[in-house]
Amino acid sequence: TAFLRAKSDHAKGWLLDVMHCLDMIPNADFTLDDVYHFEAELKKKHPNNHFIKDKLRQQLQVLRDKGLIAFKGRGKYQKVRL
């Protein structure tokens, strides 16, 4: 998670929020729909963001690029180092 140091507070907040959501999913394998279940909770935390699902997908890509999760295709992911 050392890459978080280089992120702005706003970006860090989103990444940490998404990582927390992933921690709440009990299985190592999860789907995009599993992550979308946190949309209402994230909307409360980020009321000015009207594109929560888009932001979730973006943050999953960041976590994938950092090797914390793996994209398995067709909306399926796996936790690698969370």
pLDDT in tens, 16-30: 999 999 999 999 999
Compute φ and ψ for 69, nearest 5 degrees.
-135, 160
Q: Is the pLDDT of residue 8 over 80?
A: no
Half-sphere exposure of 81 (CA within 13 A, CB side): 7
Determine what percent of the chain is predicted with pLDDT higher than 90.
Answer: 78
What pLDDT does residue 81 have? 83
Q: Is the pLDDT of residue 12 over 80?
A: no
Q: What is the mean pLDDT of residues 39-52?
A: 96
pTM, entire model: 0.85
Helix (H, G, I), strand (E, B) or coil at 72: strand
Helix (H, G, I), strand (E, B) or coil at 30: strand
